[in-house]
Amino acid sequence: MRNWRKYGKEIAIGFIPVLLVFLIFTGMPAVPLLLGAAMIGGLLFLARSRGGLAVGAAARKAPAREPAYLSFDDIGGQEQAKRELTEALDFLVQRDRIQKLGIRPLKGILLTGPPGTGKTLLAKAAAKHTHSAFVAASGSEFVEMYVGVGAGRIRELFKEARTQAAKLKRDSAIIFIDEIDGIGGKRDGGQHREYDQTLNQLLTEMDGIQGDESPRVLIIAATNRKELLDAALTRPGRFDRHIQVDLPDKQGREHILRLHARNKPMGSGVSLAKVAEETFGFSGAQLESVMNEAAIYALRDESEQLTQAYLAQAIDKVMMGERMDRETSKEERERVALHELGHAIVAETVRPGSVAQVSLTPRGQALGYVRHHPVKDSYLYTKTVLEDQILIALGGAVAEEIHYGGRSTGSRGDFDQATQIVRTLIESGMSNLGIVHPQALTAEQWSKENAAILEALTERTRGILDGRLETFRRLLEILIREETLSGEELRAQLKHTAA
């Protein structure tokens, strides 16, 4: 049955000509048969095209009322993006003032940034802010193997936006196209005629948008890969405004957590500020998942409130994956504990206060892990910061060497991370090679410099851990017995040894 669905079209296309030849050979008149076949084929193609357009239009009718329940106040962690978007929307809100100043109305706004940062939410909030009709589509909806279908759907999308505005008695409409790189990718002059026609139709529709028309139409598009878009799409006069929607900072993360905590019973001792500290690099979607997973943990334990412990477990799950029920031998368990303590002790030495938890609980592909949280959000890194990160990555392997005389396969991921950071050092001109174009280096030069940097930092890591052997043994006993070690307890033990 599966093969028939996959190859049924090809079988039918091959069978029909054979059947016509056979009927003509047996004496049937050819002209009526050919005309009948052409009429049937045309009707089927027309029905399919209209059906696809109807399905696309029907799927977009529901979201037209959705923005009524979403505003910019309901979106956390994107203050800069919200300010830029609000200013760009003034031509729909303050029409008279814009006209007096002679400002050309915007035709398109492009939202770019990592997945899960709220680009779709911003588009919906823009529709409420401007009191506009809202029609949404995805770039994949316009990709078809049949010539002209994608272009037809683009025309139908703009028609649907104007129809929705008329039905809702709005004087403006917003068309939101998610993942626009699906139809707006760079044209390479190849054989992708259907993609080119769809993009050309979109460009034509955007050029046809006039500032004095009613309803006014604004296109908002979202993409994770702005660099892949065609230059004809991103030039001024098409997508005039490009707004970066980045991952939220600490204050933004706390705002998002509070928004998602409104409908959840939070315990009295819960600190969302602490959760925000421990979720550096999380997107808004991941933070929502943290709150949801914490509620699921509370449900499993039949608890009526979300506690800090549930939130900590939820962070681990979103970051590392679900807890696995793996049976490990005593020797393997001890090796994993040594490995993770190596990471943790080095981290606390070079970045005091950065360790949140050390755990032997298997999650995802990891048999154990150290959860770090930065003292402050950072977006620029010095040579010292990058070298410290390499020291932390090498801590697990060096700890195994000190206690067992050799390494294990558990260090593979750490070495991948370390070599990537070394590459960043070299490409940023912070190695002994100085400022050099990466492509000007031979493979031998890359390998030699990489080995020199890692060898020097491995010796530094060994020096840090050799001075903590007594603390290492004491922490190892605690970690194997308790399975988890908090950052506070780790720091207390290290401070006791130093004293």
Write the DSSP assignment of 157-200 as a string of letters: HHHHHHHHHHHTT-SEEEEEEESTHHHHBPP-SSS-HHHHHHHH
- Residue 188: band (very low, low, confident or very high) from pLDDT cuts 50, 70, 90: low
Q: What is the DSSP letter of 455?
A: H
Distance in angstroms (rounded) separating the CA atoms of residues 203 and 323 = 49
Question: pLDDT for 353-375, tens place per residue?
Answer: 888 888 887 776 677 888 877 65
- Residue 298: band (very low, low, confident or very high) from pLDDT cuts 50, 70, 90: very high
Residue type, 457: L
Work out the average pLDDT over 70-97: 83
Q: Which of 141, 340, 348, 449 is catalytic?
A: 340
pLDDT at residue 7 tops 60 = no
pLDDT at residue 286 tops 50 = yes
Residues 6+ apart with CB under 8 A from 11: 4
* CATH label of the domain that carries residue 365: 1.20.58.760
Count how many domains the chain has: 4
Do 125 and 150 sit in the same domain of this protein? Answer: yes
Do 14 and 93 sit in the same domain of this protein? Answer: no
Map residue 367 onto helix, strand or coil: coil
Using alpha carbons, select from 257, 326, 270, 337 the residue that is nearest to residue 298. Answer: 270
Higher pLDDT, 10 or 411: 411
Do 55 and 67 sit in the same domain of this protein? Answer: no
Look at residue 325 and tell me if it is in a domain: no
Using alpha carbons, select from 480, 317, 330, 335 the residue that is nearest to residue 404. Answer: 335
Do 162 and 184 sit in the same domain of this protein? Answer: yes
Distance in angstroms (rounded) separating the CA atoms of residues 286 and 256 = 10
* CATH label of the domain that carries residue 270: 1.10.8.60
* Residues 236 and 187 sit within 8 Å (Cβ to Cβ): no
Work out the average pLDDT over 136-160: 76
Look at residue 206 and tell me if it is in a domain: yes
Work out the average pLDDT over 446-473: 90
Do 345 and 223 sit in the same domain of this protein? Answer: no
Chain-centroid distance of CA 161 in Å reads: 28
Do 165 and 286 sit in the same domain of this protein? Answer: no
Distance in angstroms (rounded) separating the CA atoms of residues 195 and 200 = 9
Question: pLDDT for 102-126, tens place per residue?
Answer: 777 788 899 998 888 889 899 989 8
- Residue 1: band (very low, low, confident or very high) from pLDDT cuts 50, 70, 90: very low
* Residues 135 and 267 sit within 8 Å (Cβ to Cβ): no
Work out the average pLDDT over 324-339: 78
> Which of 211, 244, 277 is where one domain is finished?
244
Do 358 and 418 sit in the same domain of this protein? Answer: yes
Q: So what's the pLDDT on residue 76? A: 83
Distance in angstroms (rounded) separating the CA atoms of residues 435 and 440 = 11
Map residue 73 onto helix, strand or coil: helix
Do 18 and 96 sit in the same domain of this protein? Answer: no
pLDDT at residue 65 tops 60 = no
Distance in angstroms (rounded) separating the CA atoms of residues 9 and 145 = 13
Q: So what's the pLDDT on residue 5? A: 46
Q: What is the DSSP letter of 103?
A: P
Work out the average pLDDT over 302-315: 90
Distance in angstroms (rounded) separating the CA atoms of residues 164 and 135 = 8
331 catalytically annotated: no
Strand order in the sheet with 369-372: 369-372, 355-359, 484-486
Look at residue 15 and tell me if it is in a domain: yes
- Residue 295: band (very low, low, confident or very high) from pLDDT cuts 50, 70, 90: very high
Look at residue 131 and tell me if it is in a domain: yes
Helix ranges (H only) for 351-442 are: 383-404, 412-427
For residue 145 the two structure tokens come to: 């193997």
Work out the average pLDDT over 158-183: 88
Do 368 and 431 sit in the same domain of this protein? Answer: yes
Distance in angstroms (rounded) separating the CA atoms of residues 293 and 403 = 38
Map residue 136 onto helix, strand or coil: strand
pLDDT at residue 294 tops 90 = yes
> Which of 244, 264, 280 is where one domain is finished?
244
478 is in which domain, residue-wise? 330-498
Least confident of 83-97, 246-260, 316-330: 316-330
| Number of neighbours of residue 368 by Cβ within 10 angstroms | 25
Do 151 and 194 sit in the same domain of this protein? Answer: yes
Do 315 and 338 sit in the same domain of this protein? Answer: no
> Which of 274, 293, 320 is where one domain is finished?
320
Q: What is the residue-averaged pLDDT of the chain? A: 80
- Determine what percent of the chain is predicted with pLDDT higher than 90: 23
Q: So what's the pLDDT on residue 416? A: 92
Do 79 and 206 sit in the same domain of this protein? Answer: yes
Q: So what's the pLDDT on residue 296? A: 93
Look at residue 148 and tell me if it is in a domain: yes
Distance in angstroms (rounded) separating the CA atoms of residues 241 and 25 = 65
* CATH label of the domain that carries residue 188: 3.40.50.300
Residues 6+ apart with CB under 8 A from 79: 252
